[in-house]
Amino acid sequence: MELISEGQILDVIPYSTGILFVEMVNLDSGEARLAYRSFDFEKDSFLPVTMGVYLLNKFGPSYEAISDQLNNCVLCDTAVLSDLRVIVITPDGNCAVFSKDGSLSWNGQFTYHDNYVRSPFSHDNYFWCTVPDENSIVQFDSSTLKTHIRIGNADSGAFTSPVTLSIYDDTVYVCNSSIGKIKTVELPTYSVSDYKTFEEPIYRYYKVGDKEVAWLKSGIYLL
């Protein structure tokens, strides 16, 4: 594995040729500030990036209108749905759905069996989320926000506190943080398999082209 950054990482998102990430940087004055960075895989190098570029890739074309309505644009999970609405879920389970022009269309607690959901990821006319306290991942209908399919449950061994997921080529990659393991779910058979195991917690996994990226407790790595 190749270490990209071992800083105090707050968020990692993909873009067309690399990743964007947000670090907390301590200044000589003793204060701290957010730093927006990118690593481009085609150029194999870090490139300067603005907060606007980060927000555009996270929230889509209406990022200015959406970000103006949020208390924290970094510590939240987002997905652009098939109809270009944007769903935003905060760590405390609050959910906001924005129209494609950035106006708020729905806001409230978004739970499954009274447990918070996390990590929305759009796929066709649905989006998937993890439910860490249920050891589950759940597929929701994008138009109604209602549950369509659940995989795993609180007592099963399919997943262990899954925190985030991503989907590529009809394969769901599920990060089980506490056990340092990525598991896969093949669609549409829904068969669950082990994919990669690490010796530390894993927070996110992405594919960008033919590259694989993992955000682990010790930093961001190119696998």
pLDDT in tens, 21-76: 999 988 878 788 999 999 999 999 998 899 999 999 999 999 999 999 999 999 99
- What pLDDT shows up at residue 91? 86
pLDDT level of residue 127 (50, 70, 90 thresholds): very high
Task: Find how far residue 84's CA is from the centre of its chain.
Answer: 17
Instruction: Indicate the helix (H) or strand (E) that contains 5.
Output: strand 2-5
Does pLDDT of 208 surpass 90? Answer: yes
b or e along 69-95 (b: 16 or more beta carbons within 10 Å of the residue's beta carbon)?
ebeebeebbbbbbeeebbbbbbeebeb
Nearest CA-CA partner of 17 in 220, 213, 219: 213
Residue of 137 and 48 predicted with greater confidence:
137
- What pLDDT shows up at residue 216? 98
pLDDT in tens, 156-182: 889 999 999 999 999 999 999 999 999
- What pLDDT shows up at residue 10? 97
Does pLDDT of 134 surpass 80? Answer: yes
- What pLDDT shows up at residue 154? 85
Entry pTM: 0.94
**CATH numbers and ranges of domains, the chain:** 2-222 (2.130.10.10)
- Contact by Cβ (8 Å): 8, 32: no
Residues above pLDDT 90, as percent of the chain: 88
Q: How many CB atoms lie within 10 A of CB 115?
A: 14
- What pLDDT shows up at residue 92? 84
Does pLDDT of 221 surpass 90? Answer: yes
Amino acid, res. 169 = D
* Angle at CA of residue 203, ends 200 and 207, nearest 5°: 110
- What pLDDT shows up at residue 186? 96
- What pLDDT shows up at residue 93? 85
- What pLDDT shows up at residue 171? 97
- What pLDDT shows up at residue 48? 83
Average pLDDT of the chain to the nearest whole number: 94
Mean pLDDT for 182-196 is 96
- What pLDDT shows up at residue 87? 97
- Contact by Cβ (8 Å): 23, 5: yes
pLDDT level of residue 96 (50, 70, 90 thresholds): very high
Distance, in Å, from the CA atom of 129 to the CA atom of 175, rounded to the nearest integer, reads 12
